[in-house]
Each structure stands twice: as C-alpha cells, then as structure tokens.
Amino acid sequence: MNMRKLAAGLAGTMVGLGFTAQALAEDLLGQPTPDAIHLQQAASPLKHSAIFFHNAILMPIITAITIFVAVLLLIVVVRFNKKANPVPAKFSHNTALEVAWTLIPVGILLFISIFSFKLLFAYHDMPKPDLTIKATGYQWYWGYSYPDQKIDEITSVMLSEADAKKADVPYRLAADNSLVVPVGKVVRVLVTGSDVIHNFAMPAFGLKTDAIPGRVNETWFKAEKTGMFYGQCSELCGVDHAFMPIQIKVVTQPEFDAWVVEKTGGNKPADPVAAAIPASTPAAPAAAPVAATPVASASAPQKTAQLDVAAKPVAMN
C-alpha cells in the first residue's frame, strides 16, 4: 500500500516537473537560459528537426521505459521480498519471455533509427548553398573567411569581462568579431582546425562539427531569424578551451551586402571587375595573388596566437 503511494507520488513529481519546465520555457534565443532544462530554442530547420526527434521520439520512449522498469522493480520489491514471499520459486528460463524481451527492444531501436537516420540525412543533404564560409579553430579563438567574397580571415576573440559588461553582451559567449551571415540563406560552413581538434558548435542552429587539423568538415545552416547567436568550442582543446566562443551575427541580405562591401574596401574583386577588364588585360594573373593570400596567411595566425597565449596569464575559474 505504502509502495503504491510512493509510486504515485514519484509519477506525480515527474509530471509536475514536466509542467514546470514547460511553464518556464521562455528561453532566450541564441544563447543559454539560466536554469533552463530544455534544448536551446531553434533558429534553423535542422534544429527544429533535432528538437522534434528529442522531444517527440526519444523522450516519450525513455520516459515509458523508465516508468516500466521502475514499476517492475517496485513489484519485485513489494511482492517478492523475504517477508511477503518466504519460499521463492525454483524455476528458471521462460522462452516466450526471453523472445519478447529480445524482440521488443529491437523493435524500439528500429523505430528510433527511422527518425534518427532521417535526421542524419537531413544534416548530410545540404541544399544548394548561397554562401560558403570557412571556420578555422585556433588555440584559442576562431577565424572566419569568405572565399567567394574574397574576404580574408577575420579573427574572433572572446571579449574580456569588462568589455562584455560595457557592451552588455554575455561574457564568455561574446567575441570581438562575428561571423556575419544573411538571414534565410543556406550557409555552408567548412570547418577545420589549425593546431588541435576544436569543434564548431552552435546550439540554436543544431550544429556540432569537429574542426580537425588537415581535414575539412562540412556543415550547413539556414538562419530563420536575424540577431546574435552564441556557441562555444565543444572539443577539449587546451587550457583556454572555454574561452573561444562562436558568435554568429545574422543580418538581412542588404545589410550583409553592405558589410561585404565594407570588408572588401568598396571594390568587389569578384566577377564584375573581372568582366570589365578582359578587353585590355587578361584578368587571370591579377586574380591569382588574391586567391593565394588566404592560403598563405592560414598558418601565420597560429604562431602569433601561441605567443599571445604564452604571454597571457591563464584565467581559470
């Protein structure tokens, strides 16, 4: 009797917790919310799918299995303890039961795999990208370059606590420079590492991709809203692993175009210029050094970074 009450109480608590969490679900967009227990709010199609997979498929199954096993345990504890059941049964094995508890979990896993693979394929099948950016992880900051726009690597370093406070942005998430992208466009992200393995992670877009030296990984996102989005390096990469946030600024297309013009110094080195020149001079030799620049500079920041880090006192708390 007492056990039944306890079980009812436990079930009530679990339901109650669920509702409380739902009520508190006024989560911030693009950054973690204090005391929140849900996944971060979605701002990309992939994240919506990931949240659906977690909330609608995994959670109910996990909850049902947990309750089922807890009830079985309670039955065993109540009905088959030494007092209630002084003479235990001597039989062993039950073919029907063994077949059932093998096949049912297989069925559950197969069911999960349908949705799991669907999500994996969604991550893999990138739509035609509108924009390609390259994100390089360094010890301990990020570098973003825009090969198509001919924008050389922009380094993105975490703001100090004082600077973050002054700018009223979240400390340890905010950086000096953002990865700027247009809203509603498919952005292909080429992810690599310069020194050790880092990880390009952005919860609001459902991204988590390893940045491995000597290898280029690919991921993509399509931001649904403008605003500032924060992520963090998610692979242990050294003492300042916790201090290399990822900051993505999603802007409108005109704002992005203006930003590109500003970054490239007003003259667009892409097609328009090349199209204007060919009558007099061949465009190819002129374009070559520009294309070579990002490659040549790729290894340079690494050394500077390590020197900086050596000189900098290690902040740990």
Q: By CB under 5 A, name the binding residues for Cu ion.
A: 198, 233, 237
CB 196 within 8 A of CB 180: no
What is the CB-side half-sphere exposure of residue 314 using CA atoms within 13 A? Answer: 9
CB of 137 to Cu ion, least distance (A): 5
Closest CA to 46 of 98, 101, 99, 123: 123
Q: Which is nearer to Cu ion, 193 or 206 (CB)?
A: 193
CB of 73 to Cu ion, least distance (A): 42
Q: What are the beta bridge partners of residue 218? A: 190
Min CB(304)–Cu ion separation in Å: 17
Residue number, 47 or 198, with CB nearest to Cu ion: 198
Buried b (16+ CB within 10 A) or exposed e, 202-227: bbbbbbebbbbeeeebebbbbbbebe
Closest distance of CB 284 from Cu ion, Å: 38
Helix (H, G, I), strand (E, B) or coil at 22: helix
Task: Tell me the CA distances in angstroms from 302 to 155, 191, 314, one per residue in order.
Answer: 11, 16, 18
Q: Indicate the residue among 150 and 198 with the shorter CB distance to Cu ion.
A: 198
As measured in angstroms, the least distance from the Cβ of 43 to Cu ion is 23
139 close to 240: Cβ distance less than 8 angstroms: yes
In the complex with Cu ion, the residue whose CB is nearer, 187 or 305, is 305
Angle at 265 between CA 259 and CA 266, to 5 degrees: 75
Identify whether the C-beta of residue 177 lies closer than 8 Å to the C-beta of residue 2.
no
Residue 135 C-beta: closest distance to Cu ion, Å: 11
Residue 309: closest CA among 145, 195, 177, 216: 195
- The smaller minimum CB distance to Cu ion, of residues 157 and 237, is found at 237
Which residues lie below 8 Å from residue 242, measured CB to CB, with a gap of 6+?
172, 232
Give least dist CB 146 to Cu ion, A. 21
Q: Given the complex with Cu ion, which of 233 and 251 has the nearer CB atom? A: 233
Nearer to Cu ion, 165 or 303 (CB): 303
**Helices and strands (H, E) in the chain, number of each type:** 9, 10
